[in-house]
């Protein structure tokens, strides 16, 4: 397997293969995300309804796959997602639970699962292959890497987005995604 591209979003910056492509100091995540969305050129109104964790993952995938035509034309059933996170959907959980005693909000509840971010990316880029959401204590996980290798060795996956998308209860965020290709 080979890494086609590596993309990270953290500390108000977007880095592609380690090179800074965008830096917006001083903006909080919601306004930073809005700017990134406009920069990405995605015309996808559903973006505005997403939880912050999903916005983060969505944007990271948007920049990761930009202009990669070979991924676009690949068989959807062979495009996989293996993601990890640390705080699951805790930030969205807290937002939802504030509505719990009054009128519980279905629009917020739908985002109270760790794997919804995978679903949003899958829908946006038509990834119908293998899928898994792991909860890890940080971005680096040997077990995650091992599983990725095992999955790619099975041979049913041509492209895989693997990485870490975390938006914690304090609004601290990090996304690190790699696009992996079967050799």
Partner 1 sequence: MSILVKATNIVSPLGFSTEENFSKILAGNSGVKLRDRKDLSPQPLHLALIDENSLNSAFASVVGEDKGYTRFEKIGLLSLSYLLHDKDIDLASADTLFILSTTKGNIELLEPAATAGQAKGDQAAACAKIEDIVQKGGIDNRDNHAATDKGPVVTTCADKTISQYPERLHLWHTAQLFANHFGFTTKPLVISNACISGLAAMVLATRMIKAGLYRRAVILGADAISRFIVSGFQSFMSLSASGCMPFDARRDGLNLGEGAASILLEAGDAMEGDIELVRGAMHNDANHISGPSRTGEGLFLAIRDALEGARPDLISAHGTATPYNDNMESIAVSRSGLNDVPVNSLKGYFGHTLGAAGLLEAIISIESMKAGVGIGTRGFEEYGVSEQINVIRDNFKHEINSVLKLASGFGGSNAAVLIRKNV
**Contact positions vs partner 1 (CB under 8 A):** 76-77, 81, 86-88, 90, 93-94, 96-98, 100-101, 103-106, 109-110, 112-116, 118-120, 122-123, 125-137, 141-143, 146-147, 149-151, 153-154, 156, 168-170, 172
Dist. CA 127–CA 149, nearest whole Å: 19
> How many Cβ atoms are within 10 Å of 10's Cβ, its own excluded?
16
Give Cα 7 to chain centroid, integer Å: 10
Q: Shortest Cβ distance from residue 17 to partner 1 (Å)?
A: 27
**Quick one: 31 or 146, whose CB is closer to partner 1?**
146
**Quick one: 21 or 123, whose CB is closer to partner 1?**
123
Dist. CA 124–CA 54, nearest whole Å: 12
**Quick one: 30 or 104, whose CB is closer to partner 1?**
104
Dist. CA 54–CA 29, nearest whole Å: 12
**Quick one: 7 or 87, whose CB is closer to partner 1?**
87
Residue 34 and residue 60 in contact, taking contact as beta carbons nearer than 8 Å = no
**Quick one: 12 or 115, whose CB is closer to partner 1?**
115
The answer for residues whose C-beta is within 8 angstroms of residue 1's C-beta and 6 or more apart is 148, 149, 152, 180, 181, 182, 183
The answer for residues whose C-beta is within 8 angstroms of residue 169's C-beta and 6 or more apart is 87, 90, 91, 94
């Amino acid at each position: 397997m080979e890494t086609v591209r590596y993309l990270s979003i953290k500390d108000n910056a977007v880095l592609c293969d380690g090179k800074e492509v965008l830096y917006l100091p001083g903006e909080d995540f919601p306004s930073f995300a809005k700017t990134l969305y406009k920069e990405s050129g995605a015309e996808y109104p559903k973006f505005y309804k997403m939880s912050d964790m999903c916005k983060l993952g969505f944007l990271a995938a948007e920049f990761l796959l930009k202009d990669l035509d070979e991924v676009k034309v690949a068989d959807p059933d062979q495009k996989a997602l293996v993601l990890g996170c640390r705080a699951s959907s805790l930030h969205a959980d807290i937002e939802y639970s504030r509505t719990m005693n009054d009128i519980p909000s279905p629009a917020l509840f739908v985002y109270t699962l760790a794997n919804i971010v995978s679903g949003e990316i899958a829908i946006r880029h038509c990834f119908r292959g293998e899928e898994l959401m792991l909860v890890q204590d940080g971005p680096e996980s040997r077990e995650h890497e091992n599983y990725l290798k095992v999955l790619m060795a099975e041979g049913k996956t041509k492209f895989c987005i693997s990485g870490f998308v975390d938006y914690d209860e304090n609004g601290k965020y990090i996304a690190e995604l790699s696009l992996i290709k079967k050799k």
